[in-house]
Amino acid sequence: GFVVTGADALPVSVIEEEFRSQFGRVLNHRTFTDTCKRMNRWYSDRFLFGQVVDSDMPAGNMVQLSVMEKKVGNVLLKHVDSKGELAPMRTKENVVRRCLLSKPGTLLSHRMLQRDITEVRNTGIFQDVSVATVPGEPGSDSMDVVLTLTKEMVKGTFNVGGGIQAGLTPGAVADPLNNMLGTLDYKSINLFGLNQTVKAKVSLAINDKTFAFSHTDPWVGDDPFRTSRTLRIEDSRVDRTTILGRPTGEGAGSDDEAPGEIKQDARSAILEFTRPLTQSWTGIAGVTLQRSALVDSEGAKLLTDSYGAPLTLSGREHDSALMLQSRAVRSSKTSSVNISAEQALPVKPDWSNFARVEVKADHNIPVG
């Protein structure tokens, strides 16, 4: 018979299959050696650190095999600057460790180490990531994993810009000053060393203004399902005269009777949670609170446009909606599928009430 020790990962069925043909026969050294090689190949084919290290026949017709499987000892994080010198790390250690499959006591695997490198790189925190293994504690079969993290990325950026936006009020004469636009953008990554992202944008023009703020936590509270959370708040006033206004001189009346500017005031708050469902599918659930109204140049609410058509669905000065959304998204290099459902809740009688389901699919076909 055969006794195999130390083979925690090697399935019993594999061991039995390899030695079945040798049961009850005189031990053949060449056949036995080939069997050990096939067992070693089982580890190498799966990129695992394991091999047969010893064999013995202590008594009778019993053969004893010793297998050594390298386990992960300690997982060490080392942060270095661009020159390779040790540097303090602002990022919390658990932000990196939660990305790792290599944990103390697990079987050491080349594939697992490569996956760990990819996951940490995908956080976007570090300029480069590499891994090495070193002998663990003396007398043990473990290997310590050393993850080298090279230079944390820039923590925040601030941009200022300007330009001229297109679009004229119907019948108006082009005036470059009235179409000038200024923008301020701020982005902070790895907020508080937790890999959270904050974005803020302010856009100002003579007739338009937009403010947008968002906060993203890519991994909420070390959730085992890797749930992420995004909060977005937007406040905007956009000129809609080109769409809802009447060109000067159209129809009866003089130019003085032509309507003034029509602007849309919109405010919204969006909360979304995202979670990977499978390797290719992602689930998204969220809630949106939205309020919109049309106003004139003085800020007075408008109920109808220049042709007397209603500007709100509710017939009141503004439209409000509380919407629940869910989406399932599957994407690959050549195709994508997006299945979404949305339900507006009539919290009050004049709030929007609707439901819709949408399915989108596309497939890229290379030409040439």
Please tell me the predicted confidence (pLDDT) of residue 253: 45
Name the H helices within 181-267.
241-244
What pLDDT sits at residue 59?
A: 63
Whether residue 85 is predicted with pLDDT greater than 80 in this model: the reply is yes
Averaged confidence pLDDT in the chain:
86
Q: What tokens were used for 247? A: 């060109």
What is the total residue count of the chain? 368
Among the residue ranges 86-95, 144-153, 266-275, 306-315, the one predicted with the least confidence is 306-315
Cα-trace Rg, the chain = 33
Residue 166, pLDDT score:
62
Nearest to 185, CA basis, from 207, 217, 153, 212:
212
**Residues 21, 38 contacting (CB under 8 angstroms):** no
Chain centroid, CA 268 distance in Å: 23
Give the three-state DSSP class for 325. Answer: strand
How much is the pLDDT for 248?
A: 56
Q: Are 49 and 43 in contact (CB under 8 A)?
A: yes
Higher-confidence residue of 268 and 306: namely: 268
How many whole angstroms from its chain centre is CA 175? 43
In tens, the pLDDT along 175-232 reads 566 677 889 999 998 888 999 999 999 998 877 899 999 999 999 988 889 999 999 9
* pLDDT band at residue 252 under the 50/70/90 scheme: very low
d(CA 292, CA 235): 10
| 99-110: pLDDT as tens digits | 999 999 899 999
Cβ 22 vs Cβ 55: under 8 Å: no
Q: What is the mean predicted confidence (pLDDT) over 306-314? A: 82
Distances (CA, A) of 119 to 101, 112, 115, 124, 340: 10, 10, 6, 10, 28
Angle formed at CA 286 by CA 280 and CA 291, multiple of 5 degrees:
140
Confidence of residue 92 (pLDDT cuts 50, 70, 90): very high
Q: What pLDDT does residue 254 have?
A: 44
Of 80-94, 173-187, 195-209, 344-358, minimum mean pLDDT range: 173-187
Average pLDDT over residues 333-354: 92
- Is the predicted pLDDT of residue 258 greater than 50, yes or no? no
Q: Give CA–CA dist 271/292, Å, rounded.
A: 18
Average pLDDT value for residue range 320-326? 96
**Which pLDDT tens digit goes with each residue over 121-148?**
999 999 999 999 998 888 778 899 999 9
Q: Tell me: pLDDT of 13 over 90.
A: no
**Helix runs in the chain, H state only:** 12-19, 29-45, 93-97, 110-122, 241-244
- What does the angle CA 110 – CA 113 – CA 118 come to, to the nearest 5 degrees? 125
CA atoms within 13 A on the CB side of 42: 20
pLDDT tens digit string along 153-189?
A: 877 888 999 887 665 544 444 556 667 788 999 999 8
Using pLDDT thresholds of 50, 70 and 90, give the confidence band for residue 340: very high
Task: Quote the pLDDT of residue 75.
Answer: 94
CA–CA gap between residue 260 and residue 257 (Å, rounded):
9
What does DSSP say about strands 71-80 and 142-152: parallel, antiparallel, or unpaired? parallel
Per the listing, tokens 């019948």 go with 171
CA distance 232 to 197: 12
Q: CA-CA distances (angstroms) from residue 23 to 1, 193, 329, 343?
A: 7, 60, 54, 67
pLDDT at 257: 46
Quick one: what percent of the chain has pLDDT higher than 90?
46
Q: Hey, what amino acid is at 309?
A: A
| pLDDT score, position 80 | 94
Kindly state the tokens that stand for 270: 């969006």
